[in-house]
A and B are shown apart, each in its own frame.
Chain A
């Protein structure tokens, strides 16, 4: 197992290298000059040249890349072009907000998806199944920014049940924190809810048709025990896969939701940095997002072993 994990970690390095090359090229080849963004209404040819020199933008692109890579390898992610804030600090400062949002969205998604998906599978063709299918279609069809706007105007602006935007750290004030995170978490988690419900349902239907379920019933186990103990654990393997990818994609998913709800997380940082051509921050965020995906994939693979002992990592 340890060898397997180490091998996977080593294999991440070339992937990470390719990601950094790709991101570096994309962001630098996108039109737009960070000097103009930084200077705004204070621009002058002298000031623009000064910033190009400060940032090394007057050097060949490959030189800029290897200078940046050399620093990253030594643990220095550089400073933001627009705010001069250390990139690592900029990300770690905003990470708790994104993690909290992503975590609550995921919990919300699973709390709704697994029971509904299970019931829909057990009672195929029933009203519950049809409602669940309807929710699935709607959940994946409606973009989360639209869900966010609807939630803001109904539950926040009109009903005044939830505050608009703002972030309160959970350990500072748990109740206020949950009030603030509720709407963005619902908006962010809705698509995941729909997908997870769909996966739970189809996987559950498949598992319920297996011989060992019939055997369990024949041995006298209650239907509830069969469904929740014998079937559900096995049915969750594909759900774990998709949830793993959802965890890895928290930053990606949060980009839109955090912007709509003015949530001070990494997603919003990424959006602002892209618009501002803040190369160092964009590269930092994308590198983090890539690592999140890779680590989440590794964890998913490890969880398989726990869910299904037949899978081994020799």
Chain B
């Protein structure tokens, strides 16, 4: 999940693939058939197969089919059992987990409490671990016995279970890790316990997984294997889908969705995803250190026009950072529902700023549309197109006035807000600071009461939207894009393609 994959992917793909309403997937098509293989397109090449080092969405997409996590989610984003069968979190500093029994890794070693402890310690202490911040609140893991562990927390953390759905909760065979040595991330032979196991990874060409015949979830998976192919171009992905070289894609260009939907050889469904699209305004420097100028931009942007003209009405208009797929979604938050050039003019007008984006054509079109909308409010926007790594560095280092950055989203609303708008947050490129917002976000992170958390997020969202360090434009979608031989595909808002229950016929 690359945040800055931003411009590159979101306006183009996610946002582009966003929306529509769709049919929700899960095209069962009769009794499941076992056998066959499926080929899945990845929109970029993987860099690692070790959850410890991972930072890309496409990597997670593979991991969910190779590794099991301590927790899973259902399509409504509710936390469900994974390798943890049941849990007791009544003591907010000591989470007690009961583990599944009879689970074996692909190398034949057993999953146990000791294994959980070893994995969490590896993620917390590994020299190249990118999971340290995920698990910062975990002080230690106590192995009660083979089937029970207790997570001792240094601070309360209401988001921990959601965190353990993802890479920080993925369990690996420590024997396989040791055997893999320095090349483990390139060839994690026997490391997972998931529905498919690693066979080979020919970088820039394909990654092959085969069926785990001893999978602990009875009767699964249905397919004999999966092949992933990295095709870093949406037009090429569509071409490969049409030629039958791939069966499933996660994303295509928005302009192609209607024609694919009309073709009965293919299936397109979508559900609201968990990220958001828009652009950052730098509250730490002129001109946007003046809140009135930020608000004027937010007022002048016509979100419906962007959705229609750039995203081909795929997705929905966004008013804040929490999407409709989240339990914390607040549908009443619509202070910039329609563009209002007159109101924007009366708030602040006659200033000029630079909008940074990438060379991606869809990003360019979106920038030009925003530019023309702002011009009607007397605001001059200059578009500065940059190569991705340059733009990423400048946005991250606050060297911008406006920057087109999207977010792929997190299961828990904390992941869509804290790092972005808490003072000093890791993604607070806008240098936004508001003590009230900090208080709400801190409180929501610590509270175990979901009702209270929802209220905190609603309050924080209202303030953030009003202050406009970020102009929200749209929420994207998670889509099933496949040929019609693919059945029983369940769509999840987190954009992950889970293949355990999928079959081909």
Q: CB within 8 Å of B: which residues of A?
A: 30-33, 36-47, 54, 82-85, 90, 93-94, 97, 152-153, 156-157, 160, 163-167, 259-260, 262, 264-265, 268-269, 272, 275-277
- Which interface residue of B2, B130, B233 has the most chain A CB atoms within 10 A? B130
**Contacts A54-B128, A157-B243; A164 near B1 (Cβ below 8 A):** no
B397 to chain A, nearest CB (A): 8
CA distance A83 to B231 in the complex (A): 18
Pair A83/B203 contact, Cβ less than 8 Å: yes
A42 to B127, CA, bound (A): 15
What is the CA–CA distance of A37 and B56 in the complex, to the nearest angstrom? 10
Closest CB in chain A relative to B245 CB, distance in Å: 5
Q: A83-B203, A94-B204 known; 18 other A-B pairs, CB under 8 Å?
A: A31-B393, A31-B394, A32-B388, A32-B389, A32-B390, A36-B4, A36-B389, A40-B56, A43-B396, A44-B426, A84-B53, A84-B185, A85-B183, A156-B243, A157-B243, A164-B243, A262-B233, A264-B204
- Whether B205 pairs with A167 at a CB distance below 8 angstroms is yes
Q: Which residues of B contact A163 (CB under 8 A)?
A: 243, 245
Chain B: CB-nearest residue to A156: B243
Inter-chain contact B229/A166, CB cutoff 8 Å? yes
A93–B204 Cα gap in the complex (Å)?
10
Q: Closest CB of chain B to A109's CB: distance in Å?
A: 24
A165 touches B240 (CB 8 A): yes
Residues on the B chain within 8 Å of A41, using CB: 1-4, 55, 407-408
Q: How far is the CA of A264 from the CA of B200 in the complex (A)?
A: 15
Partner among A37, A93, A94, A259 whose Cβ is within 8 Å of the Cβ of B392:
A37
Main secondary structure of the interface of A (DSSP, over half): helix
Residues in A neighbouring B186, C-beta threshold 8 A: 83-85
With A40-B3, A40-B5, A264-B204 given, is the CB distance from A82 to B47 under 8 Å?
Answer: yes
Which of chain B's residues have a CB closer than 8 A to the CB of A269? Answer: 204
Given the known A-B contacts A31-B393, A84-B186, A164-B239, are A40 and B204 also in contact in the complex, defined by CB atoms under 8 Å? no
Asked if A31 and B245 sit within 8 Å, CB to CB, the answer is: no
Is there an interface contact between B132 and A47, defined as CB atoms closer than 8 Å? Answer: yes
Neighbouring A residues of B182 by C-beta, 8 Å: 84
* Interface presence of B26 (CB below 8 A): no
B53: chain A residues at CB < 8 Å are: 84
Task: Judge whether B467 is part of the interface by a CB distance below 8 angstroms.
Answer: no
Task: Tell me which residues from 40 to 69 in chain B have a Cβ below 8 Å from any Cβ of chain A.
Answer: 45, 47-48, 53, 55-56
- A157 contacts which chain B residues (CB < 8 A)? 239, 242-243
Contact between chains at A85 and B55 (CB < 8 Å): no
From B205, B239, B388, B394, name the one whose CB has the most chain A CB atoms within 10 angstroms: B205
Tell me whether B449 is interfacial, beta carbon within 8 Å: no
Q: When the two chains form their complex, are residues B389 and A40 in contact, meaning their CB atoms are under 8 A apart?
A: no
Judge whether B236 is part of the interface by a CB distance below 8 angstroms: yes
- Cβ distance A157 to chain B, nearest Cβ, rounded Å: 5
Q: Which residues of A contact B2 (CB under 8 A)?
A: 40-41
**Assuming the A-B contacts A82-B47, A262-B232, are A36 and B393 also in contact, with contact meaning beta carbons closer than 8 angstroms in the complex?**
yes
Q: Which 4 A-B pairs have the closest CB atoms?
A: A32-B389, A264-B205, A264-B204, A40-B55
Per the bound structure, the CA–CA distance linking A82 and B186 in Å amounts to 11
**Cβ proximity bits B219-234 to A, threshold 8 Å, 1 near / 0 not:** 0000000000111110
Take A156-B239, A164-B240 as given contacts and tell me if A33 and B245 are in contact as well, using a CB distance cutoff of 8 Å. Answer: no
The residues in B between 318 and 377 inclusive whose CB is less than 8 angstroms from any CB of A are none
Are A42's CB and B245's CB within 8 A? no
Is B217 in contact with chain A by the CB < 8 A criterion?
no
**Complex contact B202–A264 (CB within 8 A):** yes
Contacts of A276 in B (CB 8 A): 389
Does B91 make an interface contact (CB < 8 A)? no
List of B residues within 8 angstroms of A153 by Cβ: 239
Instruction: State in angstroms the CA–CA spacing of A165 and B233 once bound together.
Output: 12
Contact B55–A32 (Cβ < 8 Å): no
Which of A31, A41, A84 gathers most chain B CB within 10 Å? A41
- In the bound assembly, the distance between CA atoms of A30 and B393 in angstroms comes to 11
Q: How far is the CA of A265 from the CA of B204 in the complex (A)?
A: 8
Closest CB in chain B relative to A135 CB, distance in Å: 27
Residues of chain B within 8 A of A93, CB atoms compared: 202-203
Query: Which residues of chain A come closer than 8 Å to B393, judged between CB atoms?
Result: 31-33, 36
**Also in contact, A85 and B203, with CB within 8 A (given A31-B389, A39-B130):** yes
Across the interface, which residues of A come within 8 angstroms of B229, CB to CB? 165-166, 262
8 sampled A-B residue pairs with Cβ under 8 A: A30-B389, A38-B55, A43-B3, A94-B203, A94-B204, A153-B239, A157-B239, A166-B205
